[in-house]
Amino acid sequence: MKTNPFPLLLSAIIFAISLGAVAQEKAASPPIYVKASDTKELMSKDGQKVIVYGTTSGSGKSGSGMNFVNFDGAEFYLVTFKSDLTEFLQGEPADLYDGKRLAVTGVISIYKEKPQIKLTDPKMVQILEADTEFPPKADAEPAKKKPAPEAKKTETPETKPTPEEPKKKPPVDPKKYFK
């Protein structure tokens, strides 16, 4: 008994097109810029990819080889585990980026109530010149618009919306990697 391959082929083509549309939609979303000193905003971006910018100061290394890049006047920092240092051919992040003005693209995580980005590749870091305007005006996050006024709704206990808890990612625990 022969089966008609047309429905299967058509389904595969539709699936591939829909995946492409989703990927294109994600790529089209504008970047999110956050100052390294804006701790509250960084904390609210837990698990999201953002571009954090600021000047570094007082970076260092742990005895186990971990690198920390601290930002001046901020609770935000970059952490690089010893296993990721092989990607940094020019030197270790604590040496390369200390005292520099940076823009770092990565996913925010929270460790010990402080925001951080796990730095795994030098391509995540852009060193900014002193005269470079950042974030760029054309790409800067648009000003928040005031929401349009809504008609008043009467809420009953059955229709009252419940606030959703944001998903929390587990923090990066150095004890897991370094003993």
What pTM was computed for the model?
A: 0.62
Is there a domain that residue 35 lies in? yes
Query: What CATH number does residue 44 fall under?
Result: 2.40.50.140
Q: Would you state the pLDDT for residue 143?
A: 47
The residues, any chain, with a CB within 8 Å of residue 51's CB and separated by 6 or more, are: 31, 32, 33, 34, 103, 104, 105, 135
Is there a domain that residue 71 lies in? yes
Is there a domain that residue 150 lies in? no
**What is the tally of structural domains in the chain?**
1
Is there a domain that residue 57 lies in? yes
Is there a domain that residue 64 lies in? yes
Is there a domain that residue 177 lies in? no
Nearest CA to 117 out of 65, 85, 80, 74 is that of 80
CA atoms of 50 and 25, how far apart (whole Å): 17
CA atoms of 120 and 81, how far apart (whole Å): 8
Domain assignment of residue 39, given as a range: 29-133
Q: List pLDDT tens digits, range 9-30.
A: 555 566 556 655 555 555 568 8
Q: How far apart are the first and last CA of the chain?
A: 63
Q: Would you state the pLDDT for residue 140?
A: 47
Q: Would you state the pLDDT for residue 40?
A: 96
